[in-house]
Amino acid sequence: MKRLLEVMARLRDPQTGCPWDNQQTSQSLVPYTIEEAYEVVDAIERGHLPDLKEELGDLLLQVVFHARLAQEQGAFDFDAVVTTVVEKMVRRHPHVFADETATDSASVSRRWEEIKASEKQASGSELAVRAGRLDGIPLQLPALARADKIGARAARMGFDWPDSRGARAKVEEELSELDEAIALGDAQAVTHELGDVLLAVSNVARHLGVDPEGALRAANRRFESRFRQVEACVDAGLPSELADLERYWAAAKALERNPS
């Protein structure tokens, strides 16, 4: 870490550093920070540990970069970032670092939220005083992941279906409303209702214990894999009518299920 901090300090040196690094701000780094986080996720989901090692390093560099920018502004440095997260982990795990007990992960999660809420109140900030149950969910999250968090927060107040059947029925209701909007040819209403369909699907996923963002990423990967095989058939000179493409797709799908 000492060497990494030294490297970052050198990169940001106004005289001998890197012109690109010297031009960056926390705002300009946002796209890179998001990209590096997703590359970590990609390496994890591919199960490729060498790539994961590299991507974790790239993500750590983003943390160091942001901390360096804050240090230059006299706000905080990397040591303060580490100290803050260490203190938070100790404070929010009283069943590990104090005399409380926890029987399962659900009780740990409940206690975590209780401590988090008390921390906000103790901070005395305006946001803490008027904080609602949906406050603090990052707007920059992918919409599907944010929908999942919104649903979970609402459920803590009891605003939820008792089981997945109610959530599943809501999908049918929203699909019916989408069909009505399509029939009317109302583009704005179609967009509105399609959004409601996706939100309803996220609630079904939550009730089933499925991460909707992860499920969609996996579906994207399956589509890409199958489509590449369809593409390969066409590039090899095979017929390319829709019926042919669907046949190649079915073959690719069957191969996934029975790779032997």
For 87-110, write each residue's pLDDT tens digit.
999 999 999 999 999 989 989 988
| pLDDT score at 119 | 86
pLDDT at 131 over 80: no
134's CB contacts (< 8 A; 6+ apart) are 150, 153, 154
Quote the strand ranges of 69-202, DSSP E. none
Q: What is the mean pLDDT of residues 174-188?
A: 97
Q: Please answer whether residues 22 and 16 qualify as being in contact, where contact means their C-beta atoms are separated by less than 8 angstroms.
A: no
Say what the pLDDT of residue 92 is: 96
pLDDT of residue 105: 92
- Of 37, 58, 31, nearest to 213 by C-alpha is 37
Confidence of residue 34 (pLDDT cuts 50, 70, 90): very high
pLDDT at 134: 87
pLDDT of residue 3: 98
Residue 130 has pLDDT above 60, yes or no: no
Give the range among 44-48, 78-82, 110-114, 162-166 with minimum mean pLDDT: 110-114
Residue 219 has a pLDDT of: 95
Assess whether pLDDT exceeds 70 at residue 255: yes
pLDDT on residue 132: 79
C-alpha 229/C-alpha 106 separation (Å) is: 43
Residue 159 corresponds to which amino acid? F
Q: In whole angstroms, give the CA distance from residue 85 to residue 191.
A: 41
Q: What is the pLDDT of residue 242?
A: 96
Whether 151 has a pLDDT exceeding 60, the answer reads yes
Among positive and negative, which fits the CA dihedral 17, 18, 19, 21?
negative
Rounded-to-integer distance, Cα 241 and Cα 243, Å: 5
Average pLDDT over residues 49-69: 98
Mean pLDDT value of segment 61-89: 98
At 258 the pLDDT is: 76
Would you state the pLDDT for residue 113?
A: 85
Beta carbons of 250 and 258 less than 8 angstroms apart? no
Task: Write the single-letter amino acid at 40.
Answer: V
CA distance 212 to 150: 13
